[in-house]
Structures are given as C-alpha cells and as structure tokens.
C-alpha cells in the first residue's frame, strides 16, 4: 500500500477548486440536481485522495466519520418535519396566520418579523426551530400582504441567525466558545461590538423596504376571505398557541432541543384530536406524510400542505452526501493545506481575522456543515491568534461570523438544505435579502482594519503589540 503524504498547495487548490467549480457551474449553467453534483464532487475528491495515498477503506472510513459528526443534525431533521406537521394539525400555524392578518400591516411587517424571529431564536437557541415555526407563519402572512417571498425569507433567516448567534443556549454559540477556548459570555460580549451595529442597519433596511410595500395592503374582502378559509379548516382560538408556548418554556429552561420539540409535538397532537376533531390515525399518519389542506384557496393550501418526515428526505439525503464529502476533505487535508499557505503570509491582526471569517465560508462550501467548520476553524487558527496576542474570544467571534452566518446561504450545507425543505425556497433566491448574514462579517472585517473591536491579551500590564 502506498504511504499517505501531505498534498501540495497546488494539488489542494485544484482539488478544492474542482468541487466549487462543479457545484457552481452545474447549478447555475446546467440546472443539474444538487445531489448529483455533490456525488460528482465526492468522486472527484476521492480520486484526488487516492493520488496522495489513501486507499478505498480509508476513504470509506472518512466518509462514515463525516456522517457521524452530523448525526445530531439528522435527528433534528426528523423532528422538524414531525413538528411542522403537528403544528399544522393542531391549528397552531393557522391560528398564528389568522391573528397575524389582523395585527400586521406591510409598513411594519418586515422589521416586526425580524424582531419576532430574533427574540424567538434568542430564547430557544435554535435558528432551525424558529424558521420551522414562526418562519413558516411569517411566509404565509407575507404572501397574503403581497410582499415578495424571497424578501420575507431573507428577513426570517436574518432574525433567526441573529438570535442563534447571540443566544447563550445556542449550540453553535457554545461550540464556538469551546473551540476557541474562551468563556461563553466573553464570547457573546465580544460579538456585541460588530453584531449590534449590523443588526441596527438591518432593521433600518427592512423598515425602508416595508415603506415601499406600504401602499399594497390587503383589501378588507381579501382579509375576510383568508380568515374565513382558516376558520373553516381549523378551530381558531388562543389555545392553539399552546404547543409553541411549551416549546418556548422548555427551551428557556435549557431542556435539550429534542425533548422540547417532542413535548411540543405531543401537545399539538392532543389539540389536533380533541380541539380540531382529527382522528388519532390521521394525525399519526400526517407526522409521516405531512398535512394536506383543503381550504378552497390555492395559496393557502400550498402553505399549509407540508410537514412530515417525508418532507425532510430531500434535505437528509443531501446532508448525508455533503457530510461524506466533508469527511474526505478533512481526512485528505486539502483545505488545511490551503489555509496553512495563507497563514504564513499574514502579518496583521485584521488580516488574520479576515482570513478566519473567510475560511469559515469556504469550509461551509466544502464540508457542508457549520458545526464542522467551527471546530475546524478553531483547530487551524488557534495557534495563530495566540501568536498574535489576540484574546480567545476574538477567534470565537470570527468563527461565528464566518461559519455560523454563511451556512444558511449555501444550498448544499445542512442548514441551507433544511431551509429549502421548510420554506420551499433555495438560498440562492433569498440570500440577497439576508442583510444581517452577509453585512455582519463584512462590517467586522472593515472595523478590524480600522482598528475597532480588536482585543489583545494583557502581558505584564500592557496589551500585546499588534503584528
């Protein structure tokens, strides 16, 4: 057997560049299925792994290891599909749309929706849970108000990403702090310097867009028509909001996400049987195949006919292929070699931060999983931050701004695939409107080069000198 050797810089660049080229050209120019493109990428990377000495068993083992690291996300996929179906069965989604039509107006729908998603995500610590619950409702209300759905989806993802990034109960927030070796609240405090200004900018942008659509409110007859269709399909009263209350309360108590979601599903199922008068057999079947609405309004039917385990199969199959690809890339070391070449040329703290943030985006594009990108970034850049005298929370901040915020904007990541499955929209459609997700890393890099928000370790009573 040939001995494995470290790939060279040009070989690593060609290998990784081949993956990006295959996916981008295949999707944008030839409209090839993303699953098929990732399979081609797996074969391409496997051949390059063989070229550096990896054998079949080692490549297969690396694919399995990649999938193992993402199994937590796979479990959540199942539960999200079940939860969405249960919330529709119980009338929770319908009730929220019903009340939202009475309260929200196009003028303040976008900034109000941003705040709502942010608060929900901060409280629960999960962007996915927010998008799959409040996000689905806001998509329905936004469509009814005549606001373009890609814009609504961008607002939802922006708010959910902000809350997930800043929540002390978020898994990515805790993972970033752990990977960088810093205290959780030091990490959160460090993010405030770049996150708050970006969030304020995002609110103003969404408020401005809301004013543009303010002249297109629903007529009274349209509101009545939608409300009557919802009341014909579901029993609407405040009790239908109970499953969301259960989810929120348990999340605030830091109950594991899986348990919180299952408790919400059980609550919703009970309401579906006793309030909506659905048979237990129908409810249980819908947890697998999803709810099928028959309101008499096509747009409303499209919104409410969703959920179930089967609705997440596209997402799960894509995630499995992407995680397999990431496992090979990690084992072969192609991305690690590319980054090592860049690190040797970095002379400024701001450049190191910019490289770390950019690497998070590149890692997501190659490995398809934000969790892996955070861990990978912590391993690669920790020594460089130490040598530059930067506080550990500077590294954790950069990991979040690169890996956490970009994962929802890349179609083949687990997060991008999840959002596609839940909102029925590709990240390529809503990415231009996710102001927070791409402005935050850009603002962070700009402020770093201006010398703002850079924290050095104290050595003998004095801050460490800049590189």
pLDDT (0 to 100) of residue 145 = 80
Number of domains in the chain: 1
Residue 377 falls within a domain, yes or no?
no
What is the end-to-end Cα distance of the chain in Å, rounded? 44
Task: Please report, rounded to a whole number, the percentage of residues in the chain having pLDDT higher than 90.
Answer: 33
Task: Looking at mean pLDDT, say which of 16-25, 198-207, 237-246, 298-307 comes out highest.
Answer: 198-207
Residue 6's pLDDT band (boundaries 50, 70, 90)?
Answer: confident
Residue 195 falls within a domain, yes or no?
yes
Does 1 score more than 70 pLDDT? no
Does 177 score more than 70 pLDDT? yes
Residue 40 falls within a domain, yes or no?
no
Which position has the higher pLDDT, 271 or 290?
271
What average pLDDT does this structure show over 97-126?
A: 78
Angle value at C-alpha 326, between 357 and 400, nearest 5 degrees? 25
Residue 390 falls within a domain, yes or no?
no
Does 398 score more than 70 pLDDT? yes
Side-chain half-sphere exposure of 79, counting CA atoms within 13 A: 20
Residue 323 falls within a domain, yes or no?
no
Which position has the higher pLDDT, 74 or 35?
35
Does 217 score more than 60 pLDDT? no
Residue 437's pLDDT band (boundaries 50, 70, 90)?
Answer: very high
pLDDT (0 to 100) of residue 3 = 57
pLDDT (0 to 100) of residue 222 = 61
pLDDT (0 to 100) of residue 463 = 47
Task: Looking at mean pLDDT, say which of 335-339, 364-368, 453-457 comes out highest.
Answer: 453-457
The string of pLDDT tens digits covering residues 275-333 is 999 999 999 999 999 898 888 877 677 767 878 888 878 767 877 887 788 789 888 88
The string of pLDDT tens digits covering residues 65-92 is 888 876 776 777 788 789 888 988 999 8
The string of pLDDT tens digits covering residues 223-241 is 677 788 888 889 999 999 8
pLDDT (0 to 100) of residue 220 = 58
What angle separates helix 334-343 from helix 349-367, to the nearest 10 degrees?
170
CB 203 within 8 A of CB 210: no
Does 29 score more than 50 pLDDT? yes
Residue 227 falls within a domain, yes or no?
yes
CA distance 39 to 307: 27
Distances (CA, A) of 214 to 151, 385, 409: 14, 48, 28
Mean residue pLDDT of the chain comes to 84
The string of pLDDT tens digits covering residues 127-159 is 887 887 778 878 888 887 888 999 999 999 999
Least confident of 32-41, 79-88, 166-175, 219-228: 219-228
Q: Which domain holds residue 154?
A: 74-312
Least confident of 120-124, 163-167, 246-250, 267-271: 120-124
Task: Please report, rounded to a whole number, the percentage of residues in the chain having pLDDT higher than 70.
Answer: 88
Does 261 score more than 50 pLDDT? yes
Does 464 score more than 70 pLDDT? no
Distances (CA, A) of 54 to 5, 6, 287, 334, 417: 9, 11, 43, 13, 30
pLDDT (0 to 100) of residue 321 = 83
Residue 213's pLDDT band (boundaries 50, 70, 90)?
Answer: confident
Residue 124 falls within a domain, yes or no?
yes
Distances (CA, A) of 49 to 23, 155, 363: 19, 41, 18
Task: Return the structure tokens found at 78.
Answer: 């199942």
CB 147 within 8 A of CB 106: yes
Does 342 score more than 90 pLDDT? no
Least confident of 25-39, 294-308, 384-398, 435-449: 294-308
Residue 176 falls within a domain, yes or no?
yes
Residue 466's pLDDT band (boundaries 50, 70, 90)?
Answer: very low
pLDDT (0 to 100) of residue 140 = 81
């Amino acid at each position: 057997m040939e001995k494995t050797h470290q790939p060279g810089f040009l070989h690593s660049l060609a290998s990784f560049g081949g993956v990006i080229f295959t996916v981008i050209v295949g999707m944008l120019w030839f409209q090839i299925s993303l699953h098929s493109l990732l399979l081609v990428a797996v074969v391409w990377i496997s051949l390059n792994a063989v070229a550096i000495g990896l054998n079949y068993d080692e490549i297969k083992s690396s694919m399995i290891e990649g999938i193992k690291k993402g199994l937590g996300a796979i479990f959540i996929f199942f539960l999200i599909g079940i939860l969405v179906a249960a919330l529709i069965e119980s009338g929770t989604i319908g009730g929220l749309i019903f009340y939202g039509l009475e309260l929200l107006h196009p003028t303040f729908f976008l900034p109000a929706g941003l705040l709502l998603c942010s608060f929900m995500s901060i409280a629960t610590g999960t962007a996915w849970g927010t998008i799959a619950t409040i996000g689905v409702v806001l998509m329905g209300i936004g469509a009814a108000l005549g606001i373009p759905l890609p814009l609504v989806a961008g607002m939802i993802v922006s708010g959910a990403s902000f809350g997930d990034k800043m929540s002390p109960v978020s898994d990515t927030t805790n993972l970033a702090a752990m990977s960088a070796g810093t205290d959780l609240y030091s990490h959160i405090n460090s993010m405030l310097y770049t996150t708050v200004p970006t969030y304020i900018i995002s609110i103003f942008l969404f408020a401005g867009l809301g004013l543009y659509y303010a002249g297109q409110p629903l007529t009274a007859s349209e509101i009545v028509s939608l409300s009557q269709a919802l009341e014909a399909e579901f029993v609407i009263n405040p009790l239908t909001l109970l499953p969301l209350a259960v989810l929120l309360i348990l999340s605030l108590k830091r109950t594991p996400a899986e348990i919180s979601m299952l408790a919400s599903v059980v609550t919703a199922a009970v309401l579906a049987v006793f309030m909506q008068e659905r048979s237990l057999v129908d409810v249980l079947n819908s947890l697998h195949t999803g709810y099928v609405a028959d309101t008499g309004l096509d747009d409303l039917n499209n919104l409410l006919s969703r959920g179930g385990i089967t609705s997440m199969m596209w997402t799960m199959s894509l995630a499995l292929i992407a995680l397999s690809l990431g496992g090979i890339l990690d084992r072969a070391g192609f991305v690690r070699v590319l980054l090592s070449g860049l690190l040797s040329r970095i002379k400024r703290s701001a450049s190191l931060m910019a490289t770390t943030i950019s690497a998070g985006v590149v890692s997501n594009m190659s490995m398809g999983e934000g969790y892996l990108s955070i861990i990978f970034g912590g391993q690669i850049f920790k020594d460089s931050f130490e040598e530059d005298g930067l506080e550990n929370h500077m590294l954790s901040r950069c990991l979040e701004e690169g890996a956490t915020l970009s994962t929802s904007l890349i179609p083949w990541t687990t997060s991008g695939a999840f959002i596609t499955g839940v909102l029925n929209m590709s990240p390529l459609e809503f990415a231009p409107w996710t102001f927070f997700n791409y402005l935050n890393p850009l603002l962070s890099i700009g402020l770093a080069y201006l010398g703002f928000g850079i924290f050095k370790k104290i050595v003998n009573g004095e801050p460490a000198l800049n590189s």
